[in-house]
A and B are shown apart, each in its own frame.
Chain A
Amino acid sequence: MSKGDPNVSTEGSESMSGPDASSGLSRRSFLLHTGGAASAAALLTVPVAESVAATAPNQAATPPAQVLGPGAIAATLLVNGKPQKVMMEPRDTLATVLRDKLGLTGTKIGCDRGGCGACTVWVAGEPTLSCLMLALDVAGLPGREPQAITTVEGLGKGVAMHPLQTAFVEKDALQCGYCTSGMLMSCAALYERAKAEGKLATISDGDVRAAIAGNLCRCGAYPHIVDATLSAAKGGAK
């Protein structure tokens, strides 16, 4: 995106919700301004991307393009083990789709730009910032399976809480609770990985801190979060 890009409006920034000092662009307005085709090309993988790329100017004519967006399209999200059809725009982030379309408000948005970790969920078991992930990138589309998303609501099994959830309550690993879902997803990923490798007993203080290095807690509950994770690991290792 260059300064001269006609698709990019910098004046618009003055009146955006938070006046933007530098480029005048939020990630989302970039996607918006550059239009559905370009964003889809940038963000989708095969098979759709190929056909979209083919529509770009100066390219040889190819079979008719399948363009997604900019309007809402139906796609499938596999959340907490349940496949769900959702209408989403290509610019919608996973965080907003989870919260606004699926009502899974356990996932929080603290900054909406990758700075705080409040929105951490698992994508295929890996902790991922859902505010930096486009929902379409993990959704199922014709010819592509959805990736498995796990949110805090799906961390436990049925009504039983995950050992980390129990430990967070016991050790008081939270204050306001707004970072808690993200913290849990980061800590539980560490726990599950160690468990799978049979290494629960070796999780150290430093491991936990590293696991939550991208999760901010403004209330400062970190010491109890570390305690809780270590105590759950100890309990789970028995």
Chain B
Amino acid sequence: MSQIEVPVGIVGVEVHSEQREVPDGTPPAWRENASLKQVGKPVPRIDGNEKVSGRARYTSDVVRPGMLHGKVLRSPHPHARIHRIDVSEALKMPGVKAALALPHLLGIADDGSGKTTQVQSVRYYGQPLAAVAAQTVEQAVAALSKIKVDYDVLPFVVDPTEARQPAAPKVFAQPVIARGSAGGGGSKDKLNQVGNVRGPKRSVPRGREVEKQATQVTQALLAGPQGVRATYKTQVQTHSALETHGVVAEWSRAGDELTVWASTQGIFSVRDELAEYLGIEQSKVRVITDYCGGGFGAKFGAGNYGVLAALLAKEAKAPVRLMLDRREEHLAVGNRPGSEQTVALAASTDGKLTAIEVKGFGFGGAGAGAGFAGPALSMYDCPAVYVEEFDVFTHSGPLAAFRAPGHPQGAFALEQAMDELAERLHLDPVALRDKNDTHPARREQRKRAATAFGWQNRTATGQGPRTGKLGEVRRGSGMAQGCWYHLVNVDSRAEVRIHRDGSVEVLTGVQDIGSGIRTPLAQVVAEELQIPIAKVKVTIGDTRLPPGPGSGGSVTTASITPAAREAAYAAKQALLKELQAVLGLDKVPELTGGAVVGLKAGKPTPPLPFDKACARMRRTEVLGSAVRELDYGATANGKRGNFLAQLGGVQFAEVEVSTLTGVVRVLRIVASHDCGRPVNPLLVENQIHGGIIQGLSYALFEERRLDPKTGRILNGNLEQYKIAGALDVPKIEVLLLEELRGRSSTDASGIGEPATVPTAAAIANAVYNAIGVRIRELPITPAKVLAALASAGK
């Protein structure tokens, strides 16, 4: 190990130097972005031309010779026992080459029944059961109707309140466990389970004792002197990526090796899951994702459709493409679970929090781990914090990780409760946060965003400007904040090859889900080698490459850019050593100003430009390879401070509410965020826009609706499942912090998730400020606004 100096602090506020212990051979730390040539610049994405020309190949575009089309048979019943699945008639249908039942189900809470040869029970409408591969999609669809399934149809429950009743039909007879995916989710084992209610999962901030905190919270809530308590509800949101889930599966001629093109956020997690399910070696499964049309957390793992495609392809001895349709997408590949949370806060009269308690239920359908604890546990400096979460199972599609799992729900409740507390204390909501949140990035963000927003002009609740013909349109402003974490996946490796003609390649098995990781990879390598970005060719999206992180948890940039930079650094050292030998230099030369400079017989050699230097190599290439190490000092000197590991994010919203129609329009949002060192502010801004727009959509429009009488989905499309369109999107101003923390050789963190956490809460607080009635349930639809106004007599 060796010591290096790293800059630490928020650029423009204060930056100082700190020592960090790093592995030998680590490149020196970069200074702030202003001192760099490629990193920190708004470089247009290097694969942009592919995407705007229609050339980018997505899984749904992959065509293989002799390719068949797969379709999935899904249960029309939300709850049933299955005796027999008979595909023999389907096999006789025109064009059909294979038909089979799904051996066992993935993506659902595991009730310990183990592996089966045919799915035994149905626990949600739309659950996959079997599949057919035929020459055309239409033939496959036609053949599905010939599959005979013997069902015992059983009573079901899809309403989470009913599901809590002791007599409600049970989703699981046995206690379940739920593994998380690379994108989050999952739940603790061995929780109590009574009927459809599982829990409580009890949690407190890291390093504190559960029992003690629980008692302290109870006492503080009793003692007051100030407090608020209210219940907040959030709906089920589906990921609705524009490219549906799907794969193309193809076996080698010998039938022992499988290649899968997958629309995924994690090529390695797809590979590993397929290998395990099919009982073949990981080395025999290759997963390719050139481009992926969005995932947002729902695209990890092989999926039941992936397994079915692989099995069909094997049986048919032909490649099979199996893409879900839009309706299936809403049914069976995950969602952000709903919630019902009761938040209680206590504070001193001057506004110091003395207790935060959140108790409630998560509604993840047939999946477990539908929690919301994150913001309550991490955001505020409060001596007593206690969260109790229960899963409530219903007969509906299981949850999946979804952009900052649990956080938008948690923030919606906690940040409205803070707003309510501020009002009770006659404090400004920003001032209340300043008193209770010492996170340095968020403190700065509140300051910058409040100024840019013009927060000081905010009017008292219900006193905002009135417009509209009848004065029926009220305007209001609100703010909220969120947290996420600096997460990394150290199981990440990158390779950099410098070729003799001076061109450079970066190879790593990450995938682009839209955040555009190819470009930051090219930037960090170009920076290290002092070459133009156009000289760097980036190859990703193939499990034959060195392992990259799955793109979830906002880990991609934080995990793989340091490995890429270090690989470039290692390749550079190899090149310089080679030049020393070839040119007979006194010692290893240096790369400076884009040229190699050394000493020969004590005299400086003339600068040799990078490509000319490469031309002197005796071999075709030099190679550098690097694995993502733990964060600098993370283990050695125990500097894993809470603040260093947490990301912030503060958003201010202005809305207009019509008291006649109940329609809420968001007029503008000012958002301030941090992501360590922003490697590419243009791409980061785009991510922040995306997070905010998804948050707005969650706040006002989206809700998966199930029919309580039939258990079926009522809006499994994109017309009635409304997501925000261009006309719904306000003016968004992004204020991005450059926060250096000395945590890795690029010091980058992620941004995808934190950007979506505070939005719904900020909008809800703004709606309250506009109309003086609080809406504690998402989405904030016109009907809810009108009902709230009516019940308040306004």
A residues sitting closer than 8 Å to B (CB atoms) are 11-12, 14-21, 28-29, 32, 91, 99, 103-116, 118, 151-153, 156, 161, 165, 168-170, 172, 174-181, 184, 208-210, 212-226
Q: From A224, which residue of chain B is reached at the shortest CB distance?
A: B686
Looking at B18-26, B203-211, B688-696, the stretch in contact with chain A turns out to be B688-696
Asked if A221 and B54 sit within 8 Å, CB to CB, the answer is no
B44 at the interface (CB under 8 A from A): yes
In order of increasing CB-CB distance, the 8 nearest A-B pairs are A106-B54, A178-B293, A18-B327, A220-B693, A176-B514, A115-B718, A177-B51, A220-B690
Q: Are B45 and A179 in touch, CB under 8 angstroms?
A: no
- When chains A and B are docked, how far (Å) is the Cα of A18 from the Cα of B485? 37
Chain B residues, CB < 8 A from A212: 725-726
Question: With A18-B328, A115-B718, A116-B718 as given contacts, are A176 and B55 in contact (CB-CB < 8 Å)?
Answer: no
Q: Which of A152, A217, A220 is close to B691, meaning CB atoms less than 8 Å apart?
A: A220
Cα(A14)–Cα(B63), bound, Å? 29
Residues of chain A with a CB closer than 8 A to B57's CB: 105
Q: Across the interface, do A112 and B326 meet the contact criterion of CB distance under 8 Å?
A: yes
Q: Judge whether A21 and B707 touch: CB under 8 Å.
A: yes
What residues of B have a CB within 8 angstroms of the CB of A113 in the complex?
Answer: 326, 717, 719
Q: Are B292 and A176 in contact (CB under 8 A)?
A: yes
Q: Is the interface of A mostly helix, strand, loop or mixed?
A: loop
Q: How many Å from the CB of B314 to the closest CB on chain A?
A: 21
B residues near A32, Cβ cutoff 8 Å: 138
Question: Is B387 interfacial (CB-CB < 8 Å)?
Answer: no
CB nearest to A208 among chain B residues: B726
Q: Please name the residue on chain A nearest to B129 by beta carbon.
A: A15
In the complex, which residue of chain B has the Cβ closest to the Cβ of A223?
Answer: B689
Residue on B nearest A20 in the bound complex, by CB: B327
Contacts of B48 in A (CB 8 A): 168-169, 172, 174
**Which interface residue of A111, A151, A221 has the most chain B CB atoms within 10 A?**
A111
Interface presence of B91 (CB below 8 A): no
Q: Tell me if B691 and A15 are in contact (CB < 8 A).
A: no
Please tell me if the beta carbons of B145 and A15 are within 8 angstroms of each other in the complex: yes
Please, could you name 26 A-B residue pairs with CB atoms under 8 Å apart, sorted by A? Answer: A14-B76, A15-B146, A17-B140, A91-B138, A107-B54, A108-B242, A108-B243, A110-B242, A112-B326, A115-B719, A172-B44, A172-B683, A174-B48, A174-B51, A175-B515, A176-B294, A177-B514, A178-B242, A181-B54, A209-B726, A215-B726, A218-B723, A220-B692, A220-B694, A220-B724, A222-B729
The answer to whether A219 and B514 have CB atoms under 8 Å apart is yes
Report how many residues on chain B are interfacial, defined by Cβ distance under 8 Å: 79
- Complex Cα distance, B579 from A224, in Å, reads 45
Name 7 extra pairs, CB < 8 A, besides A176-B512, A210-B727, A214-B725: A11-B145, A104-B54, A110-B242, A175-B514, A175-B515, A215-B725, A222-B725
Closest to B144 in A: A15
**Residue numbers in A under 8 Å from B76 (CB-CB):** 14-15, 19
CB-based contact A213/B725 at 8 Å: yes
A88 and B147 alpha carbons, distance in the complex (Å): 28
Task: Give which listed residue, A111, A177, A222, contacts B293 with CB less than 8 A.
Answer: A177
Contact across chains for B689 and A222 when beta carbons are under 8 A apart: yes
Question: Known: A108-B60, A172-B683, A212-B726. Contact between A184 and B716, CB under 8 A?
Answer: no
Contact partners of B327 in chain A: CB under 8 A: 17-18, 20
Task: Give B42-80 as 1s and 0s: 1 = Cβ < 8 Å from A's Cβ atoms.
Answer: 001100111111111110110100000001111110000
Residues of B close to A152: CB separation below 8 A = 52-54
Q: Are B294 and A21 in contact (CB under 8 A)?
A: no
Contact A177/B53 with A15-B144, A17-B328, A21-B716 known, Cβ cut-off 8 Å:
no
| Residue among A14, A176, A216 making CB contact with B243, cutoff 8 Å | A176
Is A19 in contact with B325, judged by CB distance below 8 angstroms? Answer: no
The residue of chain B having its C-beta at the shortest distance from the C-beta of A211 within the complex is: B726
Query: A184–B326 contact, CB under 8 A?
Result: no
Interface: B125 (CB within 8 A): yes
Given A16-B144, A153-B53, A213-B725, is A218 in contact with B328 using a C-beta cutoff of 8 Å?
no
What does the 1/0 interface line of B621-663 toward A look like (CB < 8 Å)?
Answer: 0000000000000000000000000000000000000000000
- Check if B45 sits within 8 Å of A172, measured CB to CB: yes
The one of A108, A174, A175 in contact with B687, judged by C-beta atoms closer than 8 angstroms, is A175
Kindly state whether residue B552 has any CB partner on chain A within 8 Å. Answer: no
Contact B73 A15 (CB under 8 A): yes
Q: Is B241 an interface residue (CB 8 A)?
A: yes
Using CB atoms, name the residue of chain B closest to A170: B44
Contact between chains at A178 and B243 (CB < 8 Å): yes
Which of A28, A115, A209, A222 is the one whose CB lies under 8 Å from B138? A28
A116 touches B690 (CB 8 A): no
Taking the closest CB of chain B, its distance from the CB of A85, in whole angstroms, is: 20
B693 to A, closest residue via Cβ:
A220
A115-B719, A179-B242 known; A216 and B293 CB under 8 Å?
Answer: no
Bound Cα distance A184, B716 (Å): 26
Q: Is B712 an interface residue (CB 8 A)?
A: yes
Q: Which of A104, A184, A208, A222 contacts B693 (CB 8 A)?
A: A222
